[in-house]
Structure 1
Amino acid sequence: MYDLTGFQRDLLYTIAGQEEPHGLAIKDELENYYEKEIHHGRLYPNLDEIVDKGLVEKGERDRRTNYYSVTARGRRELEARREWEDQYVGELLATSE
């Protein structure tokens, strides 16, 4: 996951948080988070990149709609990232409660 851009990481998190979302559902979630429009020219090449890296699997719902799901490798990468984040901010967030 270290070689992903921040946007690609956000894509991975967004896909992991939904049940086989399609591209527009992912786009809507990210637009809410970023509070700005995400263009197709940014979204789909980055989705293809994380598919090519084996973190996400792309399936076909129908002729026009693809869905995405996190692979086992993607889940391992998410878990490793969470552990790494906890080393640095876990204690900070726990003490702020």
Structure 2
Amino acid sequence: MYDLTGFQRDLLYTVAGLDEPHGLAIKDELEEYYEKEIHHGRLYPNLDTLVDKGLIDKSQADRRTNVYAVTSRGKREIEARRDWEGQYVDLEV
């Protein structure tokens, strides 16, 4: 996951956290988090990058809608990232 941008990591985490998310649902979640508009020209190429890296799968819900899901590799990458972060960030105060 070290080679992902922060935006790509946020995409991966968002896909992992939603039930069968489609592009617009992912876009809505990220716009709420970033508090600004996410353009399609940024969203979909980055989703495609995650697909190409084997971190998420893309399937068609219908002719116009793609649905995304985190792959087993993507889940392992998220777990590894969280373990790595846990070495440096202790949230128990």
Task: Work out whether 1:73 is the aligned partner of 2:73.
Answer: yes
Q: Counterpart of 1:94?
A: 92
Q: Deviations over 1:21-56 (max 9, x none)?
A: 000000000000000000000000000000000000
Can you give the 5+ residue segments of structure 1 that lack an aligned partner in the other structure?
Answer: none
Q: Structure 2 length normalisation: TM-score?
A: 0.99
Shift of 1:58: 0.1
Counterpart Cα distance in 2 of 1:7 and 1:20: 20
Q: Structure 1 length normalisation: TM-score?
A: 0.95
Task: Work out whether 1:38 is the aligned partner of 2:3.
Answer: no
Shift of 1:73: 0.1
Mapping of residues 1-97 of structure 1, within 5 Å: 1-89=1-89, 91=90, 93-95=91-93
Counterpart Cα distance in 2 of 1:69 and 1:55: 9
Aligned length: 93
Name the larger-Rg structure.
1
Report the 3-state secondary structure (helix = DSSP H, G, I; strand = E; otherwise coil) of the residue aligned with 1:94.
Answer: coil
User: Percentage identity across aligned positions?
Assistant: 77
Cα RMSD for the two superposed structures: 0.4
Counterpart of 1:94, as a letter, is E
Shift of 1:20: 1.1
